[in-house]
Structure 1
Amino acid sequence: MTQLNRESLQPDSPDPGAGSRPQLSVGLVLLDQFTLAAFSGFVDVLRLSADLGGGSRQIHTAWRVMSVDGLPRTSSAGITLEVSGGLAQDLEAFDYVAICGGNDYLNTHLPNPLRDWLQRAAKSRTRLLGICTGTFALAQAGVVGSRSVCVHWNVLDAFRARFPKTPAAVDHLFIDEGDLITCAGSTAAIDLGLYLVARHCGREKAQQAVRHMMLQGIRPGRQPQAHFYANLADIKDERVRQAAHYIEQRMDSLPTLDAIARYVGLGRRQLTRAFQQSLGLSPMEFQRSLRVEYGGWLLVNSHSSITQIAMDCGFSDGAHFSREFRARFGVCPRQYQRQERSG
């Protein structure tokens, strides 16, 4: 396990000549097994917007990293991070409080101190951020209400099973409900950070971070997540749901029918019958439909060639992809791309 010391992570003190409170201040709470990419990407946006030249002084933006008990937290990557302390009592110091989750989202126990603190933050009108699976903790604390939330496509079924009354979506990178903003995690946390910096510090400061991070630009929250996901909310057969999830997870290394059947403990024919009854498709037809849907997303949201997109989606060549795509959408990939981008 790698240990990072506090000195290597804490920025220099704010410039005493700055004279005023930073335009944007965020308190971040690390949960067990938090996702390092989402947390670090979000914080680095704040850091690179805080000062000129990447100096890291908390002038224009400020951040404080906390945990429930003030002790270090270990990320899902096994890297342990020091924190500034326990849950802050001076909530008025923050424009936002961010809950950074990760691989511990299936844990149904939310520490009472965190629950009470989040409820106090909500009552004091401190705006809340759910980063990655931190949204699970916000829902557990009862501070989401009827608001819509954004979750990563990989955990949508788990979220809906736990919180069936909370509208959850994967067709955004993040969703802003005014006093609650939730994001899918991973690189979407960078986009959320840029969104907040642009709002509070101006677009120039956000672009400063974009240049330092060598990004292509700022993605809007309404941009859909890369779509490896099929909506199975109405499918009652748990075996089909498990098999579909397995296929989604293996988009880059397509499983055979035998492998899928073994994964859910069925024979090939049993699995095929179950899929036909639930979806009207065979497992392999379902797999192809996901690949074509993903290809459609890439056509609109990436700059890759059609041949490269075909290969990335698991097709043997561009012609094979084009045939399947036309059968699904009624137009060729190039025409679809022009229509969607012009619309």
Structure 2
Amino acid sequence: MDTTNTSESPATETDYVRWLDNIWAERLLAARDRKPDLSVGILLWPTFPMMSLTGIIEPLRHAADFADNSRPLHCRWSIMGAPGQAAVASCGIRVQADAPYINPTDFDYIAVIGGLLPHLRAEPSKHRDYLRVAASAGVPIIGICTGAFVLAQEGLLAGRKASIHPFHAEDFRLAFPRLAFSVRDDFLIENDRITVPGGVSILSLMTELIRTHCGPDRAAKAVHQLSLTEHKGLSAFDHERVSTFRRVEDSRIQRAIVLIESCKGQGVSPEQAAEIAGLSPRQFGRLFRETIGMTPKRFIVETRLRYARFLVENDTLSMTEIAYETGFSDAAHFSTAYRQKYGKPPKLFR
């Protein structure tokens, strides 16, 4: 007779494993007869990014139950594959499938997490078969990171615009010249297809899905649990909203813009931007002016001012703190540059 008590601390490693198994068995039994508000089936491609997987599961886990009990009540998720099948992440960690290929209509979404581009054709063949069945059944499909490439390869992005990471933009354009894409969106939802470039953007998407299916209280819980409570500044998502410049066709100028905007215009010079573009400073300056309509130096200053305006309107920092935060020598210099750009001093915008 098994006398393991889940309320007591395990004494040995064997007891610990059994203790964990019993806890999860209890949780699954408690959740079995309740239809979840949100369920996601996950397909992992070889060399997938671990952050994308945790970016799906952790918001669902926190939204799925009250307090920190982690019972899969409101939300459920399954990593699908053949029995014994495991996928190796790009960091080398093996992740075992915990479910067979479940009927896709049992899920609200099927999430495809792509891997490194050279390995996109190395997935289990049943993954793509399952995707086609899910698409035929009308189940919304999410392409995460290079998962968007997988969807495009299967013809599942026809007539839709995809959200692609700037790092993969040129690869996507060359591979799928007839498909529209954006490098300026955290995610795009278009006709039962969702694309997200990966990284922290997956948290933004999952928050939106939780809000839609489970309500704002569940979404707020997930956001709260995934945030540092001591942090009083803006979130990563808020900071990224500052970067609003549209994609340009010339990939060299695009790389320079990504560099400048990722730094919010600080600690980067026109010479550094020229270097990442692979051009001499003179060539870069001329091409930048022709493409963007201003000098690289002016673009850097305007990037800092866009960031400053966002802080003025959305944060509680003082004007002096914002001046230092955005790379101005003092509040007076900041106020002058701000007025020249926006026609009014920053205090009037707050």
The TM tier, using the shorter chain, reads 0.7 to 0.9
Question: Cα distance, 1:147 vs. partner?
Answer: 2.6
Question: Given that residues 170 and 224 in structure 1 are in contact (C-alpha distance below 8 angstroms), is that contact kept between their aligned partners in structure 2?
Answer: no
How has the CA–CA distance of structure 1 residues 174 and 243 changed in structure 2, closer, same or farther, with 3 Å as cutoff? closer
Does the CA contact (< 8 Å) of 1:12 and 1:56 recur in 2? no
2:133 corresponds to 1:120: yes
**Alignment partner for residue 336 of structure 2, among 314, 323, 332?**
323
- Per the alignment, in what secondary structure is the counterpart of residue 120 of structure 1? helix
Q: Which runs of 5+ in 1 are unaligned?
A: 1-5, 339-343
Determine the structure 2 residue equivalent to 1:20: 34
Q: Deviations over 1:271-301 (max 9, x none)?
A: 3233233333222122222222333344444
> What SS does structure 1 have at the residue aligned with 2:303?
helix
The equivalent residue for 1:191 is 204
Contact 1:173 1:188 in 2 (8 A): yes
**2:106 is matched with which residue: 90, 93, 101?**
93
Whole-Å Cα distance in 2 between the matches of residues 70 and 317 of structure 1?
59
Q: How does 1:303-318 map to 2 (within 5 A)?
A: 303-318=316-331
Partner of 1:204: 217
- Aligned CA distance change for structure 1 residues 223 and 121 (closer, same or farther; 3 Å): farther
Instruction: Say whether residues 1:148 and 2:140 are aligned partners.
Output: no
Quick one: structure 1 residues 259 and 64, their matched pair in 2 at CA, closer, same or farther if it must change by over 3 Å?
same
Residues 17/230 of structure 1: CA separation in 2 closer, same or farther (3 Å cut): closer
**Structure 2: distance between partners of 1:301 and 1:184:** 25
Report the equivalent of 1:71. Answer: 86
Task: Name which one, 1 or 2, has greater alpha-carbon Rg.
Answer: 2
1:174 paired residue among 163, 187, 195: 187
- Whichever residue aligns with residue 79 of structure 2, its letter is V
Shift of 1:95: 1.5
Aligned partners of 1:48 and 1:176: how far apart in 2? 23
Pick aligned residue for 2:45 from 31, 36, 56? 31
1:25-48 superposed Cα distances (whole Å, 9 cap, x missing partner): 111223344443443233111112
CA contact (8 A) 2:270 2:281 kept: yes
Tell me, yes or no, if the aligned pair for 2:86 and 2:94 is still in contact at 8 Å.
no
Partners of 2:318 and 2:146 in 1: CA distance: 33
The amino acid that maps onto 1:84 is A
**1:12 positional shift:** 1.4
- Superposed displacement of residue 143, structure 1: 0.8
RMSD: 3.9
Contact conserved, 1:65 with 1:84, CA < 8 A, in 2? Answer: yes
Supply the distance in 2 between the matched residues of 1:303 and 1:157 (Cα, whole angstroms).
39
Letter paired with 2:59:
V
Q: Is 1:59 paired with 2:73?
A: yes
Aligned positions, number: 323
Farther off after superposition, 287-296 or 56-65: 287-296
Tell me if the contact between 1:87 and 1:117 (Cα under 8 Å) persists in the aligned partners: no
- Contact kept, 8 Å, 1:65 with 1:85, in 2: the verdict is yes
In structure 2, how many angstroms separate the alpha carbons of the residues matched to 1:64 and 1:262?
A: 45
Structure-1 separation of matches of 2:299 and 2:118? 27
SS in 1 for 2:160: coil
Confirm or deny that 1:255 pairs with 2:248: no
SS in 1 for 2:96: coil
Q: Which residue of 2 aligns with 1:43?
A: 57
Q: TM-score, normalised by structure 1?
A: 0.75
1-side partners of 2:102 and 2:197: how far apart? Answer: 28
Q: Does 1:138 align with 2:151?
A: yes
For the 8 Å contact 1:275–1:281, the answer to whether it is kept is: yes
Residues 46 and 170 from structure 1, CA distance in 2 versus in 1: closer, same or farther, beyond 3 angstroms? same
CA distance in 2 between partners of 1:8 and 1:172 (Å): 43
Instruction: Give the secondary structure class of the aligned counterpart of 1:64.
Output: strand
**1:239 to 1:132, Cα distance in 2 relative to 1, 3 A:** closer
Give unmatched runs, 5+ long, in structure 2: 1-16
Amino acid at match of 2:76: A
Number of the residue aligned with 1:291: 304
Q: Cα gap change, 1:200/1:274 in structure 2, threshold over 3 Å: closer, same or farther?
A: closer
Q: 1:26·1:62 contact (CA, 8 Å) conserved in 2?
A: yes
Instruction: Note if contact 1:71-1:86 (Cα within 8 Å) is conserved in structure 2.
Output: no
Question: TM-score, normalization: structure 2?
Answer: 0.74
The equivalent position to 1:227 in structure 2, one of 242, 248, 253, is: 242
Which has the larger displacement, 113-122 or 249-258?
249-258
Alignment partners' CA distance in 1, 2:331 and 2:174: 39
Which residue in the other structure is 1:3 paired with?
A: none
Cα distance between partner residues in 2 of 1:8 and 1:254: 52
Residue 84 of structure 1, CA deviation = 1.6
Deviation at 1:175, TM superposition (A): 3.1
